[in-house]
């Protein structure tokens, strides 16, 4: 069962992992290599999308911490369901934070001359 401090820690650890995986240079090299092996652009798109990557990260941490939805536990589906819910919630919070406190910079590099 999740308590509030455990939930906040779980969300914070997941968000830090998502950010780290998106900016860590070897992640880009590994995803590019895997895309060449599989011949699909799945892994590069996965690492660029914080919501998509978040589903996998939160599902992994849900499995490691033993967190699941309290209603029903089905071994792998419960972890991915919690991962999807947490990823979507954190994605919406990130969008809200960015729209409230982000800086919009307009550049004229690609303007028609």
Structural domains in the chain (count):
1
Tens of pLDDT, residue by residue over 33-57, are 888 888 888 888 888 888 999 999 9
Provide the pLDDT for residue 113.
Answer: 54
- Cβ(14)–Cβ(61) below 8 Å: yes
Provide the pLDDT for residue 38.
Answer: 83
Query: Tell me, what DSSP letter sits at residue 78?
Result: H
Give the whole-angstrom CA distance, residue 78 versus residue 72: 8
Asked whether residue 106 is domain-assigned, the answer is: no
Question: What range does the domain containing 9 cover?
Answer: 4-99
Taking CA atoms, 19 is separated from 56, 72, 103, in Å, by 13, 30, 19
Give the whole-angstrom CA distance, residue 80 versus residue 89: 14
Asked whether residue 111 is domain-assigned, the answer is: no
> Nearest CA to 58 among 85, 29, 19, 34?
85
């Amino acid at each position: 069962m999740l308590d509030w401090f455990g939930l906040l820690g779980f969300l914070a650890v997941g968000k830090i992992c998502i950010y780290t995986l998106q900016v860590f240079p070897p992640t880009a090299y590994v995803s590019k290599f895997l895309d060449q092996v599989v011949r699909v652009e799945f892994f590069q798109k996965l690492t660029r999308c914080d919501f998509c990557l978040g589903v996998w990260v939160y599902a992994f941490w849900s499995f490691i911490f033993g967190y699941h939805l309290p209603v029903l536990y089905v071994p792998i589906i419960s972890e991915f369901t919690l991962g999807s819910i947490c990823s979507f919630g954190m994605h919406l919070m990130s969008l809200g934070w960015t729209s409230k406190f982000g800086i919009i910079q307009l550049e004229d590099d690609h303007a028609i001359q």
